[in-house]
Amino acid sequence: MLHNILQFGFAGIAGLCLLGAWLSRAKRGVLMWAAISAGAAAISAHYYVFWSLALFSLMIPWALVCAGPWIDMAWRMKTGFVLFLALGSVLCIYPTFHDEYHGHEDQSHLASDVRSEQETKAQRGELGLGQFVRSNISFRLVRGLDLKGGLRLVYTVDVDEAIKDKRDRYYDDLRAKLATLFGYHQGDSRPTIEELQKLQEKVRIEKARDRADTMTLYLNDRADSEKITDEFLQQFKAEVQVNWSSDLKTATFRIRNEVESQIRERAVTQAKETVERRVDALGLKEAGISTRDEDVIVEVPGEDERAFDEIRDIISQTARLEFKMVDDDTDFFEPIARSAKREDLPKGLDFRIENAPVGPNKTKPNYYALMLRGENEDMRDALKRMQEWVATLQVPQDNEVGFGKFVEYDEETDTFEDIGWRTYFLFSKAEVTGDMIRDAQAVPDQGDRGMGGWYVRMELTPVGADRFEDITGKNIKRRFAIILDAKVESAPVIQTKIPGGIATITMGAGNVTQQLEDARKLELVLRSGALPAPISLSNEQRIGPTLGRDAISESFKGALGGGTLVLLFMMVYYRRAGVIADVAVLFNLVIQIAVLAMFGASMTLPGMAGLALTIGVAVDANVLINERIREELRLGKSPRAAVDIGYDKAFSAILDGHVTTFIGGLILAQYGTGPIKGFAITLIIGIAASLFTGVVCTRLMFEWAVRHRKVKKLSVGIKTAASV
């Protein structure tokens, strides 16, 4: 109903403006502008394009002001723009105003399909004008943690995993050096899997299962210990302690305590920095992030449950990306499948066969394990059961078992459904890792392989691109597993060498909307960087205002009282010129709040201080202007001349004051965190708005008096009479 009213209403306005343009040649240009804007608004209403409708409808009064008879076209253009800006600001502020005074309508108790239907009706205008505006404007200015409270999340960093990663890098480096030392590998390139397997003829290295910082070297021949000299081990001894057994056949490598402490501290610091980048990418500039021991504490203001769910998903993703070769030459699960008794296996576990590619034009059936999730069982619980079973198997040191989702097509719903997890027998060595990614982007799948879904396109660094090209060239017709957060996303067969450093991650077989959401989340976490170690949510709680009701009330009264006193002083001291200044200051506040709302910012106590400070800055600009006008009036200038000269001479001082404050705000925004950054952002927006309202808007009002009304006296706080 509402859309029909808007559609035909704006079409009628467009027709009237076209008629006016035809009748009045002098106003033809601006009336055509109004007609085009009204026509575009009508078309936007027909196709349910809200922001296009809002933009073009707000341009109509701008154009009509320009069609008026007042002063000159330049003044009318500026006044029309101020009106456009004022109406747009009110539109942006309205949803925030409604939610603050009437409360946000809670629809969480409704079923998802009912909630979606209600939201669609509101966006189409079927539930009234207010609902129409609020449902189409998603942003709000909300009170921050210190004023209203929000969500407090405590994540614990698995620092042992970071130590284990460091140990594994030493493991790979040691094997590579030993392969060269014993003559199985030549050159500066990395040893191949085959060369490392031959190394076991001389030496075997095992990573301790119960200690994340230890690995042990076993020599098959004691005489080979003479080759492993102190000079060879010197490259490791700075960070690793090496102890030989009495028979010189066994050496234990353990990360030093001081290095281990550094790894722990670095893991927590890097986790905090990564979480900050992800939170900032979500636009939550007011979120507070801090550390305590091995915990990262995230405090997010607001009360939007859907936003909180998105925050949890984004923060908790480790984004640990690895590319590992699938060991299809070894059928690890075949003897287990043939010997295991059904009653000894976990519920839902089964074995299946697949044709795995091994070498050019060859295939060989391999076994893999499949864990079907139980009825009403969560996929995470099914994965946990499968991981517990795999932990009981004797997996070789150079291999590991990977887990990937197993999907099945549902003919009734015409969708693919996750029904369980399957295994991949992988080499444990990561050929390419996430720190070799330069950029990531969510891209629609428009190729022959796709069904209109989405995938994430990754661009590798030069080092990663060279590694990727080398690995794919040496392993044609073998499977290359893409592993994200310890889960195999896909394991495509390498068909040819892949140069250029471009890799992709598909988003599974879900619906397109879900694929898009997953692709954008993955793009965000890959761009912001992987966490140095997994993090787990150890505590979650809703927190109230950190200042308390009395402190909030007193702070608000202080800010309101201070601003009111400044406005009253201007009115009393400068009379009508003071009223003009007060109107400009209030308009300045409206613009600031509208801009903050558009960015979805949170209003904190420092933010309120920023608003109060910009009142002083804005008034200061008007004080300079009014004093210059008074001086010109004392010299006998006419009101019009005094206004022109006063603005011209005061502008340089006003600009200097605003620029210096703006620079201070930029520095605080760059290096401040949490509430300090909120204060800086509010100050920067206020300074920009103050320069506009203090110089442009007030001058428009003065010019209305001296050029349109042609007053003979200006009320600027002194008795001055001047003829035009």
pLDDT tens-place string over residues 494-511: 888 888 778 777 766 556
Q: Put the strands of the sheet holding 349-357 in their side by side order.
A: 349-357, 363-372, 415-427, 399-410
pLDDT at 109: 54
Q: Residue for token digits 């597993």? A: 481
Question: In which band, very low, low, confident or very high, does the pLDDT at 284 lie, cut at 50, 70 and 90?
Answer: low
**Sorting pLDDT into bands at 50, 70 and 90, what band is 723?**
very low
Question: What was the pLDDT predicted at 720?
Answer: 45
User: What does the mean pLDDT of the chain come to?
Assistant: 83
* Residue range 125-135: mean pLDDT, rounded: 85
From the list 401, 388, 407, the residue with the least C-alpha distance to 347 is 388
Mean pLDDT along residues 114-143:
81
Distance (Å, rounded) from C-alpha 167 to C-alpha 153?
30
Q: What is the pLDDT of residues 35-74, one digit of tens each?
A: 999 999 999 988 888 999 999 999 999 999 999 888 889 9
The lowest-confidence range among 55-59, 306-310, 379-383, 649-653 is 306-310
Which H helix or E strand runs over 437?
A: strand 437-444
Average confidence (pLDDT) over 143-169? 83
Q: What is the pLDDT of residue 666?
A: 87
| Angstrom distance (rounded) from CA 349 to CA 351 | 7
Q: Is residue 242 classed exposed, middle or buried when 0-12, 13-18 and 19+ CB atoms within 10 A define those classes?
A: middle
For residues 264-285, average pLDDT: 78
Query: What's the CATH fold of domain 549-708?
Result: Multidrug efflux transporter AcrB transmembrane fold (1.20.1640)
Q: Is 326 helix (H, G, I), strand (E, B) or coil?
A: strand
pLDDT class of 722 with cuts at 50, 70, 90: very low
Alpha helix (H) residue ranges in 199-256 = 230-237
Q: Do the beta carbons of residue 75 and residue 65 sit within 8 Å?
A: no
Provide the token pair at 144.
């921050």
Q: What is the mean pLDDT of residues 151-177?
A: 88
CB 145 within 8 A of CB 296: no
326 falls in which pLDDT band (50, 70, 90)? very high
Q: Looking at residue 385, what is its pLDDT?
A: 92
Domain boundaries, the chain: 2-140, 159-259, 317-540, 549-708
* Sign of the Cα pseudo-torsion (200, 201, 203, 208, in order): positive
Q: How far apart are CA 421 and CA 379, in angstroms?
A: 8
What does DSSP say about strands 415-427 and 363-372: parallel, antiparallel, or unpaired?
antiparallel
> In what order do the strands lie in the sheet containing 150-157?
288-292, 295-301, 150-157, 535-543
pLDDT at position 78 is 92
According to CATH, the topology of domain 317-540 is Gyrase A; domain 2 (3.30.1360)
Residue 195 and residue 185 in contact, taking contact as beta carbons nearer than 8 Å:
yes
Residue 456 to residue 469: CA distance in whole angstroms:
19
Domain 159-259 has CATH 3.30.1360: yes
Contacts of 317 (CB under 8 A, 6+ apart): 485, 521, 522, 525, 531
pLDDT in tens, 549-601: 666 677 777 777 877 888 888 888 888 898 999 999 999 999 989 988 887 77
Q: How many residues in the chain?
A: 724
pLDDT at 312: 80
Mean pLDDT across 249-268: 90
Please determine, for residue 425, whether its predicted confidence score (pLDDT) is greater than 90: yes
pLDDT digits (tens, 9 = 90+) for 604-627: 777 777 787 788 778 888 888 988
Average pLDDT estimate for 655-681: 80
Nearest to 688 by CA among 622, 634, 614: 614
Check pLDDT > 70 for residue 450: no
Q: pLDDT-derived band of residue 721, with 50, 70 and 90 as boundaries?
A: very low
Average pLDDT score over residue span 149-159: 85
Residue 434 has pLDDT above 80, yes or no: no
Average the pLDDT over 188-192 and give the result: 79
Confidence of residue 448 (pLDDT cuts 50, 70, 90): very low
Has residue 87 got a pLDDT over 90?
A: yes
Q: What is the mean pLDDT of residues 642-651?
A: 90
Could you tell me the pLDDT band of residue 724, with boundaries at 50, 70 and 90? very low
pTM for this predicted structure: 0.59
Q: Which of 543, 539, 581 is nearest to 563 (CA)?
A: 581
**Structure confidence at residue 509 (pLDDT):** 58
Query: What mean pLDDT is predicted for residues 301-322?
Result: 75
Q: How confident is the model at residue 360 (pLDDT cuts 50, 70, 90)?
A: very low
**Between 520 and 198, residue with greater pLDDT:** 198
CA 658/CA 691 separation, integer angstroms: 7
Q: 159-259 and 317-540: same fold?
A: yes
Q: pLDDT grade, residue 547 (50/70/90)?
A: low
**Contact yes or no for 526/437 (Cβ under 8 A):** yes
Percent of the chain at pLDDT exceeding 90: 21
Report the distance separating Cα 124 and Cα 131, nearest Å.
9
Structure-model confidence comparison of residues 189 and 1, the more confident one: 189
